Amino acid sequence: MSGTNEHPPAYDPAIVEPKWRRRWEERRTNTVDLTGAARPFYNLMMFPYPSAEGLHVGNVFAFIGSDIHGRYRRLQGYDVFEPIGFDAFGIHSENYALKVDTHPAKLIPRNIVRFREQLRRVGLMVNWEHELSTTDPTYYRWTQWVFLQLYRAGLAEKKAAPVNWCPECKTVLANEQVINGFCERHPEIAVIQRVLEQWFFMITRYAERLLDNLATLDWSDTTRTAQVNWIGRSDGAELVFETPVGEPIAVFTTRPDTVFGATYVVLAPEHPLVERLTAAEHRSDVNAYLRHVAQTDLVSRKVGGNDKTGVFTGSYARNPATGETIPIWIADYVLMEYGTGAIMAVPAHDERDFEFATAFGLPIVPVIEPADGVSGTLPFTDWDGTLVNSGAFDGLGCREAVGAVTRWLEERALGAGRVQYRLHDWCISRQRYWGPPIPMLYCDACGTVPVPEADLPVILPPLENFRPDESGISPLARNEAWYRVPCPTCGGPARRETDVSDTFLDSAWYFLRYPSTGFDDRPIDATVTKKWLPVNTYIGGNEHAVLHLMYSRFITMVLHDLGHLDFEEPYRTFRAHGMIVKDGAKMSKSRGNVVVPDEYIGQWGADTFRLYMMFLGPYLEGGDFRDEGIIGQRRFLDKVWDLVGAVTAGAPEPNEAVRKLHQTVRGVTDDIAALHYNTAIAKMMEYVNVLRGAGEVPAALVEPLVTMLSPFAPHFAEECWERLGHEGTVFESGWPTFDADLAREDQVEIVVQVNGKVRGRVRAVAGLPEETAVTLAREDASLRKFLNDKTIRKTVYVADRLVNFVI
RNA sequence: GCCCGGGUGGCGAAACGGCAGACGCAAGGGACUUAAAAUCCCUUGGGGGCAACCCCAUCUGGGUUCGAAUCCCAGCCCGGGCACCA
């Protein structure tokens, strides 16, 4: 075998990568002992929706970044659990299935096979023994169980609610499928609204806790801010406007200080008092208006600013502050789902009311004078003003007037302080096929009855034709054999709920299931959950900053309150990574700019590709995908490969390379911890460049490099580790430590400035006292012409870095 | 309209308020080669100068500071999210 002119083998990922993937499987390298682990660390990444196109580079970017974190934690000595699964139910899969005319039950398993293969090839430290899919009855059985827990807790309610309806598709559309009021699939068809019975989760009852807890979480600020805004807390008051029909109109306002300027009241078209307050002679106008509103879809109704429409009811209400009677109008700029569904209109101090009052010739009474005394143009909506035309409150500042006016009205039972949230209750009904059936029954005798937990799962029945139709009722309603069942309570005839639940319910609890996938008789095993949860680090995209992250926090809180969990926040640390775009735009099938990683991984290997994705730009910011420059990462690996092949025995002499090693360990450690992967790679490259210029390189200088590189290029690092004579896995080598003394430079270059401009540099021993350094700087020859005989007014000294003379 | 990001060489980018452009790509020159590829060495923000050096330069305009890519104010552009929320 051995020749005389033996060259070390060149690095070939096509050999190295399959070899190590096989070994990891054989040796169960990525499997953690869930019961025995001493230092459990739960590293979570967002499970993908297994689309027909396969994983794209955006998904892979997210996974690689999370995987690097997991591997880094493992090297620090943690027992890292890094699971993956598939978010395979939902309207995406269903719509795609309809389009290609293949049943999702056939399509999805096919896609999952492809995804698994792609994920495997990326070289993630995934523990495949805990894989899950939301479409698996052993999973959605417990999704249904979660629904029942909420129902038991009184947090699930069925009520009528408007939905978007496309008359052409003959189906309910999600808000995101409505584009400027038109159906996304039929751009010429206007979407209308229809009222259907839907199941809701009462997440609004948790609004305050969801908001307050945010301050305690270690989350990316952008994500936290998004949640704060989504919850949208407003402090204000609910005020009472008496009406001739006995029942008063309650309005919510954040500006009770402007109540003296309320010149009319507006009801949402769906407001319960509309009917009773409509005077006979206005009946036909009102009915015509209500019909008009029903023709408009929910989205374009809210897209607004412009043309206000409305109609007068013919009735009047009493302004609780002035005692005057003011007209009651109906207008669709008032939304039933926010506040009380009615407002007091203060046209002088609200943009929308001003527009409406102008359009319909209603009176505009200013009650706030701008603080600067200049009577500004109306509407004046700022807080910095004083009250006028407001009786005893004239002269008060707006902010103090809020409390004073509210208290005054409260004494007469005409108002009270109130907090309002923008957060809506979570509609979880979908009149669709591809989801877990909602586990409820309707019995003629007993009414609404939950499916007993022992009868779960309610299996989603095979259905040849799952296309939604004009009925607005789920396709499951066509399967009579399935929905007709005896009532579990009385045995009489009952029918199943035929709606399925929202995909966001599937994903709201998947992280709770991963550690417990081995238990088929319970959703969440108490012992294993206590050990592994809450999640230590969750890394994912900010596109889920509100919905998914909010829903999973809510579900976790509810399960905690019911005694199923002993923590109420699911994710200790959340980091939002950036988005990978292509040519400046989000990747999407419709844009045709989706890039899949397969070709690159095939050509360069996973390790080069992983490094490349992470080097593309800051992980937390994302960037535009392009493929120029992959070669740079391959060159880097080749250089490390050559260093590994040429190491010498013996201990390293203290020299420049040793210092650089310790600096590199320090820098890379900090960078990885902060998810600054691009600069971590750059620092390793610098170190490699130093080693290459250093002549003989002892193994002790290369081994820590291999370890630091291993989270980024795991297969490559394993092979190098083996070539360095080690058995086992590099992931048990331990994260390298650094010595601050050895990292310290003993010579520094001090920049000498005159008035902030660099005029010279002096080399000096590090750590010089200020006086010595300043003297040294002043004597520098290149400074002479700038200083000459001028007086130095001030000297600024930054240790080991700079001296600045101000003249 | 509102809320988040972001604007730095030919390109991706770096830079505790302290030498702007680390690291990498591309490009140009050279070495090796019959040749090409690969590899190695050198150059590479703009302008001036034989040169040591000097001037200009981080979207624009102001400000704070001994000193600003970085902090503050105003504006422009790009990306993402929300959208009549009273």
Neighbours of A601 (CB within 10 A): 21
Q: How far apart are CA A80 and CA A295, in angstroms?
A: 55
Q: How far apart are CA A508 and CA A802, in angstroms?
A: 54
Two structure tokens written together for A339 = 């506040």
Q: How far apart are CA A244 and CA A276, in angstroms?
A: 10
Protein-proximal nucleotides of chain B (any atom < 7 Å from a CB): 1, 3-6, 11-16, 18-20, 22-26, 39-41, 53-55, 66-68, 78-86
Question: Measured in angstroms, what separates residue A782's CA from nucleotide B51's C1'?
Answer: 15
- Mean pLDDT, consecutive 10-residue stretches, chain A (807 aa), reads 54 95 95 94 95 90 96 97 95 84 92 95 96 97 98 93 73 63 66 82 94 93 92 94 94 95 95 95 95 71 66 96 96 91 95 93 92 72 89 92 95 94 89 94 94 95 84 85 94 94 94 97 96 96 90 96 97 94 79 87 96 95 90 95 91 85 96 96 95 89 97 97 95 94 86 86 85 85 73 86 87
- Cβ of A268 near strand B (distance < 7 A): yes
Nearest Cα neighbor of A446 from A496, A495, A487 is: A487
- Cβ of A520 near strand B (distance < 7 A): no
Q: How far apart are CA A201 and CA A150, in angstroms?
A: 7
Type of residue found at A24: W
Question: Measured in angstroms, what separates residue A765's CA from nucleotide B27's C1'?
Answer: 40
With helix as H, strand as E and coil as C, how does A672-736 read? HHCCCHHHHHHHHHHHHHHHHCCCCCEHHHHHHHHHHHCCCCHHHHHHHHHHCCCCCCHHHCCCC
Nucleotide nearest to A759 (CA to C1'): B19
Task: Write down which residues 538-577 in A have CB closer than 7 A to strand B.
Answer: 542-543, 546
Nucleotide nearest to A612 (CA to C1'): B24
CB–CB of A222/A542 below 8 Å? yes
Q: How far apart are CA A285 and CA A275, in angstroms?
A: 13
Nucleotide nearest to A355 (CA to C1'): B84
Q: How far is CA A695 from the centre of its chain?
A: 49
Residues in CB range of A279: below 8 A, 6 or more apart: A313, A314, A315
Three-class secondary structure of residue A474 per DSSP: coil
Question: Measured in angstroms, what separates residue A744's CA from nucleotide B43's C1'?
Answer: 32
Torsions phi, psi of A416, nearest 5? Answer: -165, 150
H or E segment to which residue A198 belongs: strand A192-201
Task: Write down which residues 343-382 in A have CB closer than 7 A to strand B.
Answer: 343, 350, 352
Predicted local confidence at residue A115, as pLDDT: 95
Nucleotide nearest to A353 (CA to C1'): B86
Question: Measured in angstroms, what separates residue A640's CA from nucleotide B25's C1'?
Answer: 19
- Cβ of A325 near strand B (distance < 7 A): no
CB–CB of A259/A320 below 8 Å? yes
Closest CA-bearing residue to C1' of B53: A782
Task: Write down which residues 301-320 in A have CB closer than 7 A to strand B.
Answer: 301-305, 308-309
Question: Measured in angstroms, what separates residue A802's CA from nucleotide B17's C1'?
Answer: 13
- Cβ of A617 near strand B (distance < 7 A): yes
Closest CA-bearing residue to C1' of B13: A617
Q: How far apart are CA A180 and CA A515, in angstroms?
A: 43
pTM assigned to the model = 0.93
**DSSP annotation of A10:** P
Closest CA-bearing residue to C1' of B19: A751
Nucleotide nearest to A228 (CA to C1'): B3
Two structure tokens written together for A186 = 């039929």
Nucleotide nearest to A636 (CA to C1'): B24
- β-pairing verdict for A311-318 and A325-330: antiparallel
CB–CB of A371/A384 below 8 Å? yes
Q: How far apart are CA A496 and CA A480, in angstroms?
A: 10
Nucleotide nearest to A806 (CA to C1'): B66
Q: How far apart are CA A260 and CA A405, in angstroms?
A: 10
Residues in CB range of A344: below 8 A, 6 or more apart: A239, A241, A251, A253, A259, A262, A265, A319
Closest CA-bearing residue to C1' of B81: A543
Question: Measured in angstroms, what separates residue A760's CA from nucleotide B57's C1'?
Answer: 20
Nucleotide nearest to A804 (CA to C1'): B66
The upper half-sphere exposure of residue A210, i.e. CA atoms within 13 Å in the direction of its Cβ, equals: 30
H or E segment to which residue A526 belongs: helix A526-532
- Cβ of A181 near strand B (distance < 7 A): no
CB–CB of A622/A61 below 8 Å? yes
Helices (H), A336-388: 351-360
- Cβ of A164 near strand B (distance < 7 A): no
A267, A270, A274, A278 alpha-carbon torsion, rounded to 10°: 100
Nearest Cα neighbor of A629 from A592, A604, A646 is: A604
Nucleotide nearest to A350 (CA to C1'): B86
Q: How far apart are CA A391 and CA A405, in angstroms?
A: 11
Q: Which residue has 């429409």 as its token pair?
A: A309
List, edge to edge, every strand of the sheet that includes A233-241: A249-253, A233-241, A415-421
ipTM of the complex: 0.95
- Cβ of A175 near strand B (distance < 7 A): yes
Burial of residue A123, with CB atoms counted within 10 A of its CB: 0-12 exposed, 13-18 middle, 19 or more buried: buried
Two structure tokens written together for A10 = 């060149």
Question: Measured in angstroms, what separates residue A587's CA from nucleotide B7's C1'?
Answer: 22
Question: Measured in angstroms, what separates residue A229's CA from nucleotide B3's C1'?
Answer: 8
Predicted local confidence at residue A4, as pLDDT: 38
Residues in CB range of A563: below 8 A, 6 or more apart: none
Q: How far is CA A256 from the centre of its chain?
A: 35
Nucleotide nearest to A671 (CA to C1'): B14
Closest CA-bearing residue to C1' of B11: A628
Nucleotide nearest to A796 (CA to C1'): B66
Nearest Cα neighbor of A722 from A602, A608, A641, A636 is: A641
Nucleotide nearest to A422 (CA to C1'): B85
CB–CB of A597/A561 below 8 Å? no
Closest CA-bearing residue to C1' of B4: A222
Nucleotide nearest to A760 (CA to C1'): B19
Residues in CB range of A626: below 8 A, 6 or more apart: none
Task: Write down which residues 631-670 in A have CB closer than 7 A to strand B.
Answer: 631-633, 635-636, 638-639
Buried b vs exposed e over A616-641: b needs ≥16 C-beta within 10 Å?
A: bbebbebbebeeeebeebbebbebbb
Nucleotide nearest to A255 (CA to C1'): B86
Nucleotide nearest to A180 (CA to C1'): B83
Q: How far apart are CA A69 and CA A537, in angstroms?
A: 9
- Cβ of A197 near strand B (distance < 7 A): no
Angle between helix axes A547-561 and A221-231 (nearest 10 degrees) is: 70
- Cβ of A233 near strand B (distance < 7 A): no
Predicted local confidence at residue A173, as pLDDT: 67
Question: Measured in angstroms, what separates residue A580's CA from nucleotide B37's C1'?
Answer: 33
Predicted local confidence at residue A2, as pLDDT: 38
- β-pairing verdict for A40-45 and A79-81: parallel
- Cβ of A10 near strand B (distance < 7 A): no
Q: How far apart are CA A368 and CA A365, in angstroms?
A: 9
Predicted local confidence at residue A457, as pLDDT: 95
